[in-house]
């Protein structure tokens, strides 16, 4: 199950993507990956599997064959040029004001996306400053701790079900003491199949329990990789992309396509053009990514 799905996902990455590359990307020992893939690790840790899922751009539920819980996001999110510009300005000012220039670029993009979505839902389509500040502090200022997220999300789900730990232990077949350690966050790396049992009884996704949101995966498929934040380059990329949508009258395009274009152009510009906007690539990618959706 897990072994076969991992092999399939690695093969989908194409020639050159091997166990050694996966080890280098995730920071997981080569021998540990080999044991998981060969089925010698009977209940590999959830945090280990989360790292593999991040590198392979897939759901944890998909890897362990919980197909009914695989998170997908195919929604069309309305594009608002003025709101997106305002949100980007706010987030970049927040980073500058709090001297967070060493933050991960993908955390910045995730903050922009979530603040944009939240603000889009209010009546005036204005930036929700209180939510924006709270989310920036949560997403950019502090390093996310997957163990804390699992603990908090499990507690929330258990309370929603109005279950207690002895009842949950009985339903899942997990020893009460083991369950107590997981819920308290005292287990170093709880087994993925143990968490799957909990997710089954709580009727939720494993990805949801460790806060791997579907929307964040859609726009930031290279999540967990640290990409340098460069305000000057990002500012140029954002303005170029937004101006191009205006120039080509692409006002009905999907917001997710805009964000995806910004991510790809930013990364390409950092790697290929001495940290400045690569206009030729930008023009080509925007037409490929955004024009198709209008």
Q: Domain residues of the chain, as ranges?
A: 2-66, 81-142+226-293, 146-210
What pLDDT digit, counting tens, does each position of 249-278 carry? 877 788 888 888 888 888 888 877 666 787
Give the lowest-confidence range in 7-11, 179-183, 212-216, 257-261. 212-216
The 10 Å Cβ neighbour count of residue 292 is 10
The pLDDT-based confidence of 88 (bands split at 50, 70, 90) is very high
pLDDT for residue 70: 58
What pLDDT digit, counting tens, does each position of 25-51 carry? 788 999 999 999 999 999 999 989 988
> Which contacts of 195-204 are long-range, i.e. CB under 8 A and separated by 24 or more positions?
195/46, 195/150, 196/64, 196/66, 197/172, 197/173, 198/154, 198/168, 198/172, 198/174, 199/61, 199/66, 199/69, 200/66, 200/172, 201/168, 201/171, 201/172, 202/154, 202/157, 202/158, 202/161, 204/69, 204/157
Distance of CA 130 to the CA centre of its chain: 23
Protein fold of 146-210: 434 Repressor (Amino-terminal Domain) (1.10.260)
What pLDDT digit, counting tens, does each position of 132-162 carry? 888 888 777 654 567 778 888 899 999 888 7
Instruction: Name the average pLDDT for the chain.
Output: 82
pTM over 0.75: no
The torsion defined by the Cα of 231, 235, 238 and 241, in degrees rounded to 10, comes to -130
pLDDT for residue 222: 44
Q: Which CATH number is associated with domain 2-66?
A: 1.10.260.40
The 10 Å Cβ neighbour count of residue 148 is 11
2-66 and 146-210 have identical folds: yes
pLDDT for residue 294: 46
Distance of CA 48 to the CA centre of its chain: 16
Q: CA separation (Å) from 281 to 45, 56, 159, 210? A: 41, 25, 50, 36
Return phi, psi of residue 45, to 5°. -60, 145
Q: What is the DSSP string of the chain?
A: -HHHHHHHHHHHT-TT--HHHHHHHH---HHHHHHHHTT--SS-BHHHHHHHHHHTT--HHHHTT-GGG-----PPPBP-HHHHHHHHHHHHHHHHHTT-TTSBHHHHHHHHHHHHHHHHTSTT----HHHHHHHHIIIIIS---HHHHHHHHHHHHHHHHT--HHHHHHHHT--HHHHHHHHHT--SS-BHHHHHHHHHHHTS-HHHHTT--HHHHHH-TTTTS--B--HHHHHHHHHHHHHHHHHTT-TTSBHHHHHHHHHHHHHHHHHHSTTS--HHHHHHHHHHHTGGG-
């Amino acid at each position: 199950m897990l072994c076969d799905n991992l092999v399939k996902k690695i093969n989908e990455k194409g020639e050159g993507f091997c166990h050694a590359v996966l080890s280098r990307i995730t920071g997981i020992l080569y021998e540990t990956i080999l044991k998981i893939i060969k089925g010698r690790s009977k209940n590999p840790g959830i945090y280990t599997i989360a790292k593999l899922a991040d590198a392979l751009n897939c759901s944890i539920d998909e890897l362990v064959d919980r197909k009914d819980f695989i998170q997908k996001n195919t929604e069309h999110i309305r594009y608002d040029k003025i709101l997106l510009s305002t949100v980007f300005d706010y987030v970049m000012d927040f980073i500058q004001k709090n001297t967070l220039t060493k933050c991960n670029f993908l955390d910045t993009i995730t903050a922009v996306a979530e603040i944009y979505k939240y603000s889009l839902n209010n009546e005036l389509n204005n930036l929700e400053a209180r939510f924006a500040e709270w989310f920036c502090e949560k997403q950019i200022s502090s390093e996310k701790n997957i163990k804390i997220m699992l603990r908090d999300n499990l507690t929330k789900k258990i309370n929603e079900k109005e279950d207690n730990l002895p009842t949950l232990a009985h339903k899942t077949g997990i020893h009460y003491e083991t369950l107590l350690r997981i819920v308290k966050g005292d287990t170093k790396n709880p087994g993925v199949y143990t968490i799957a049992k909990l997710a089954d009884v709580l009727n939720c996704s494993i990805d949801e329990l460790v806060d791997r949101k579907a929307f964040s995966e859609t726009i930031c498929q290279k999540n967990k990789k640290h990409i340098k934040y460069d305000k000057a380059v990002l500012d140029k990329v954002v303005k170029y992309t937004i101006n191009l949508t205006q120039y080509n009258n692409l006002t009905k395009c999907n917001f997710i396509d805009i964000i995806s274009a910004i991510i790809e152009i930013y990364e390409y510009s950092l790697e290929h053009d001495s940290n400045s906007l690569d206009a030729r690539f930008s023009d080509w990618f925007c037409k490929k990514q955004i024009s198709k959706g209008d």
